[in-house]
Amino acid sequence: MNRFTKLIGAAGVSLLLAGSLAGCGGSSGGGAGGAALDITKTNLPKTAADINGTIDKSKVKKSLVVGVDNPYYLFHEDIEVALDKGYFKEFGIDKVQVKTVDDPLPPLIGGSLDMALYDSDTAMAAAKKSNEGVRFLSVYLGGEANVLGVGKGINSAADLKGKTITGGQFGSRNDAILRELLQANGVDPVRDVKIVSTGGQSDSRLQAIIAGTVKGASIQLRHESLLQKAGGKVLFQQTRQVPQNGWSADKLLKDSPETVAAFLAATLKARQFITNQANKDAVLTLMRAKKYDIPAAYADVYGQENSPTYHVGDGGFKPADMDKFIKDQIGFKNVPAGTDWRKYTYLVPLWRAQKALGLPLDPALKDL
């Protein structure tokens, strides 16, 4: 990203950008099936004018396999809408196969997945620990709802004393922010409650509350009405902007960077359709036809979960938000100390996709 030379001087920019985009793909070139290019330190844009918004379909890999860690429709809808609307074909991709796996990073590093949708911090931590070519590309979810749902009989912070609750697996993002939410509401996560580690997604944690296995758990916005029907409630809630989840790639960046830009362009075009609230019924009808489970309670929060600030409309983020997010995750020991997110983030494909769609560059070059 040596991209703001004119603003602060070539020497300073060279030093910053050598670190912030080390190990990442170039802005164009590298056909599918061709020789892998070392695009880690070359073809980096100096200005917005250097970003090529025209995607060469002859260089795009026709078939992709991508990994997603959550079966909930929100994490699949960009792909399903892009397939249904022909957006992938518009940018040269004929087929996209989605595999739902608990942790898509090992198969991404191993090469059986072309791209992965996963937690931003986990992807960057894996990149640092493995010293592989994993690079974070764009934000998928930038809104974060930190919600503590509780069962019958829990009406206050005092009622939580001595009770068993869960944020999911120890060391996960949900576990970390649950502890933060407790502290913000006067509950000591060590002395006042017993926090246990559990597997599965947030749907499983909801069922654990309803079944009485735990008295409280980290849940999602879509679960509130279901919990209320079972006699429970949301005790604490906090929503904020956090670049928590997004797309990453590894070998595909070197083998076919054009394909990465094409994939992001197609899915961002789908997201523009999805976040337009006038298309809610069309999106939900499509996703239900694809056999995704979307009860009325989940549909009711479409406007919140599919707002352009939550399901980020352009895939971008504020660098200051990422700074804080990674700093917090280092504090929670979910990311290795000393991790510089810029070294494991590569924004050229996102910028190319944004430019192809006529969207402003986000993050803007000057902000980096």
pLDDT tens digits, 129-147: 988 899 999 999 998 889 9
Distance, CA of 15 to CA of 338 (rounded, Å): 17
- Taking only the tens place, the pLDDT of each residue in 91-131 is 999 999 999 999 999 999 999 999 999 999 999 999 999 88
Q: pTM score, two decimals? A: 0.82
Distance, CA of 201 to CA of 78 (rounded, Å): 20
Q: What is the pLDDT of residue 23?
A: 34
Residue 332 has pLDDT above 60, yes or no: yes
Closest to 100 measured CA to CA, from 65, 143, 145, 144: 65
pLDDT classification of 173: cutoffs 50, 70, 90:
confident
In this structure, the number of other CB atoms found within 10 A of the CB of residue 184 comes to 11
Q: Which helix (H) or strand (E) holds 234?
A: strand 233-249
Residue written as tokens 């990311």? 335
Q: What is the pLDDT of residue 28?
A: 39
- Taking only the tens place, the pLDDT of each residue in 39-54 is 545 667 889 999 999 9
pLDDT classification of 61: cutoffs 50, 70, 90:
very high
pLDDT classification of 181: cutoffs 50, 70, 90:
very high
Closest to 261 measured CA to CA, from 28, 101, 86: 28
Q: What is the pLDDT of residue 298?
A: 93
- Comparing 39 with 185, which gets the higher pLDDT? 185
Distance, CA of 8 to CA of 73 (rounded, Å): 44
Residue written as tokens 């192809």? 356
Q: What is the mean pLDDT of the chain?
A: 88
CA-based torsion, 178, 183, 141, 134: positive or negative:
negative
90 token code pair: 């518009």
Least confident of 14-23, 324-333, 343-352: 14-23
Spatial neighbors of 118 by CB under 8 A, at least 6 apart, are: 67, 69, 103, 104, 105, 245, 246, 248
Distance, CA of 218 to CA of 180 (rounded, Å): 11
Q: For residue 311, with 0-12 CB atoms within 10 Å meaning exposed, 13-18 middle and 19 or more buried, which class applies?
A: buried
Cα 91 to chain center, whole Å? 22
pLDDT classification of 194: cutoffs 50, 70, 90:
very high
> In DSSP terms, which residues pair with 67 in a beta bridge?
99, 116
Distance, CA of 319 to CA of 230 (rounded, Å): 41
pLDDT classification of 18: cutoffs 50, 70, 90:
very low
Mean pLDDT: which of 22-26, 70-74, 220-224 is highest? 70-74
Closest to 68 measured CA to CA, from 80, 54, 56: 80
